[in-house]
Structure 1
Amino acid sequence: MNDQELLEDILLTVKGAADLYLHATIEASTPNVKNTFHDVLHETLKCQCDIYNKMAEKGWYPQEQAQQQQIDKVKQQYSGQ
């Protein structure tokens, strides 16, 4: 397994964990538990961002620049809600 494959696997694992922590935060029955899951979710999202940035830096996670026309269309679509 090379470095790219390893980071892809780690990224998928971290994304899965973030999904679980999000649901745990939503479903928590007490403020203390909710805050704990929220804090762990926040840390997990920071970790996911770091992994993504490292992969993008190495060219392993290509980024596509959205055209202004696409951005304006989405803004318009959601501005009426």
Structure 2
Amino acid sequence: VTQAFGLLGQLSVWGAPSALAQTTFGMLVFFCVPLLLLEWWFDEKHDPLWLTQVRWEVRAAVYGYLILMMVFFPPPVPAEFIYFQF
């Protein structure tokens, strides 16, 4: 936890966020906030299968968003699955 707070403190230099920090924060928000909202909604419903019980339009929107995020934003560096190396 101490290391995490130390890294948060280094995001800005003399109180003004650097361009790298702003870009990193923007990407973090863009990628993580929708998934955190989905996770929060699952927690509020107390039903892990709630998405299967909503209208198909809502399900299609959620699934479509997740698929598009995987297609348009792949990992920046391709990595092999480590267990295949043994």
Give the TM-score category using the shorter length: 0.3 to 0.5
When normalised by structure 1's length, the TM-score is 0.42
Which protein has the larger Cα radius of gyration, Structure 1 or Structure 2? 2
Higher relative contact order (CA 8 A, sep 6+): 1
Which of the two has greater strand per residue?
2
When normalised by structure 2's length, the TM-score is 0.40
